[in-house]
Structure 1
Amino acid sequence: ATRDTTQGKLDYIKALSPIVLRRYVQYLDKHRLQSNGNYRDFDNWKQGIPLNTYISSGGRHFIDTWLLTEGYATEDNHGPVEIEDAICAQLFNLMGRLHEILKEELNYDAAIDHEIGVDRTAPTPKGY
């Protein structure tokens, strides 16, 4: 069998860390329980969270990470914060914010394509 070259192809396996992704999903699982006793779906955040909420929450978790890195203890409304949770919380806010930005761009691109009759099957210039 002949395989195509990997040149110019994105390699998600090499670019991402499975131990980080596993820990991140464990963090999400830990925070699925809602105050009403029900569990939210893992993808609940995709329903939309305001960008300013991501910024505000991300700022708090950045401060927690910084404090812990400097050797200080910190807590949130759930109690003491551990460094891994603080970093995962930052990841959540960064990925959520980027998701909203990219979703908006892709929706805009799709609307323009529809308007001008383009059937986009090739990768976009930005690579997504």
Structure 2
Amino acid sequence: MKKVALALIALIALLHFYIAWFEMFAWTTRGPRVFDTFPPELFEQTVQMAANQGIYNAFLAVGLVWALLIKDLKWQRNVATCFLGFVITAGVVAAITVSFRPGLVQIVPATIALVLLHLSSRSTSAMQKS
């Protein structure tokens, strides 16, 4: 269960690195194709805003990678929990303010990873007490 949680955390980090790249470097080129309901002239006008959002997504990704590199299991869980919580919060805000689908793409995997991470740490603690 722990390996699945860590693999999911790695995938979420990759997703957020992609989102960061998209918002920081491909907003005006790929944005109009991805967000085809937005007026095309909107993308050039919002390039700085998108880049700012991109850096926050990069911070989320880096935090998740950092969690994967921590050797102490308690601190790994704590840092992963913190950054997964940030991802879930960002997903909830996206679902409310942008549209439901982008929010779900963040909320669902992060919630599953968080649950698996905590279930695996409980089972590890129970086995150590035995």
TM over 0.5: no
Interval containing the TM-score (normalised by the shorter chain): 0.3 to 0.5
- Which structure has the higher relative contact order (CA within 8 Å, separation 6+)? 2
Using structure 2 for the length normalisation, give the TM-score: 0.33
Larger radius of gyration: 1
TM-score computed with the length of structure 1 as normaliser: 0.34
